[in-house]
Amino acid sequence: MRLPAHLAMLGDAERSLALTHRAVTSEHAADADVVLACARFARQCDERAQAVDAFAAERYPLKGETFNPLVAPDFGRAEGDSIGLLRDLAALHQFATRVQVTWEHVEQAGHGLHDRGLIALASRGFGDLDVQVKWVKHRMKNEAAQALIATG
């Protein structure tokens, strides 16, 4: 069974996503709404990482095999202006979507294993990530025209 390695990878991915959110907050300190939202999302990522770690330790401990980590995309070197924000949000969107899909895989496995606890955990994780992904997408949509037309 490869689920333990997948869960371990997911916990790490949530921690990386938290770091990514925090990178956005420090790069774009002038955009207060981004700072506030990403700081909240980062906290939630940490909480989910803990939750998945704890669940896995009890039910699906690692048996030796590990997967390569999900690596956060190149990040945080953009300018702190609208175009930089747009680029960073695009990277964030990509990574958050990847983490969301990873939760979806876990949920499918939960069904396959008839494990209600795992299904509930994964479905919460998927739903939370859905909120994040939608927010990032919406925020990019708001920023795109301004960044591409009126800056520079």
Partner 1 sequence: MTDLTAQERPGRDRITDIWGARTPFAAGEAWPDRVDEYLIDGVEADQVQNWVRGACLLCSNGCGLEVAVIDGRMVGMRGRADDRINHGRLGPKGLYGWQGEQEGRLTRPLIRRDGRLVETDWETAMGAIVERSKALLETKGPLSHGFYTSGQLTIEEYYTLCVIGKAGIGTPHMDGNTRLCTATASAAFQETFGSDGQFSSYTDIDSCDAIFLFGHNVAETQTVLWARMLDRLDGPNPPQLVCVDPRRTRVAERATVHLPIRNGTNLALMNALVHELITLDAVDHDYVDAHTVGFDDLARATSDATPEWAAEICGVPAEDIRRAAHIFASGERVVSTCSMGFYQSHQATAASCQVNNLHLLRGMLGRPGAGVLQMNGQPSAENNREAGCGAALPGFRNFENAEHVRELAALWNVDPLVIPAWSPPTNAMTMFRYAEEGSIGLLWIAGTNPAVSMPNLARIRSTLAGEQCFVVVSDGYLNETAELADVVLPTALWAEKTGTFTNVDRTVHLQEKAVDPPGEARTDLEIWVDYARRLGLKDKDGAPLLTWDTPEAAFEGWKACSAGRPCDYSGLTYEMLHERGGIQWPVNAEHPDGTERLYTDAEFPTHPDYCETYGHNLTTGTPVDRMTYLADHPDGRAVLKTVPYEPAYETPDEEYPFRLTTGRTVYHFHTRTKTKRAPQLQDAAPSAWIELSEPDALALGIREGDIVRVTSRRGHVDAPARVSHIRQGVVFAPWHYGSDAETAANELTVTAWDPVSKQPEFKVAAVAVQKLRDGDGPSPAPTITASAPVSKDDPWHGETNAAPPPSDAIASNSADVGSADGGR
Instruction: Report the interface residues with partner 1, using CB under 8 A.
Output: 30-33, 36-37, 40, 81-82, 131, 134-135, 138, 141-142, 144-147, 149-151
Smallest distance, Å, CB 112 to partner 1?
Answer: 28
Which value, to the nearest 10 degrees, does the dihedral of the CA atoms of residues 11, 113, 65, 103 take?
-30
* Contact (Cβ atoms closer than 8 angstroms) between residue 11 and residue 66: no
Residue located via tokens 């490869």? 2
Least distance in angstroms from the C-beta of 99 to partner 1? 17
Smaller CB distance to partner 1: residue 9 or 144? 144
CA distance 52 to 109: 14
Least separation, in Å, of the C-beta of 136 and partner 1?
9
Closer CB to partner 1, 60 or 126, in the complex: 126
User: Are the C-beta atoms of residues 20 and 70 closer than 8 Å to each other?
Assistant: no
The CB density around residue 110, as the number of other CB atoms within 10 Å, is: 19
Between 90 and 144, whose beta carbon lies closer to partner 1? 144
Minimum CB separation from partner 1 for residue 145, in Å?
Answer: 6
CA dihedral 95, 23, 33, 126 (to 10 degrees): 30
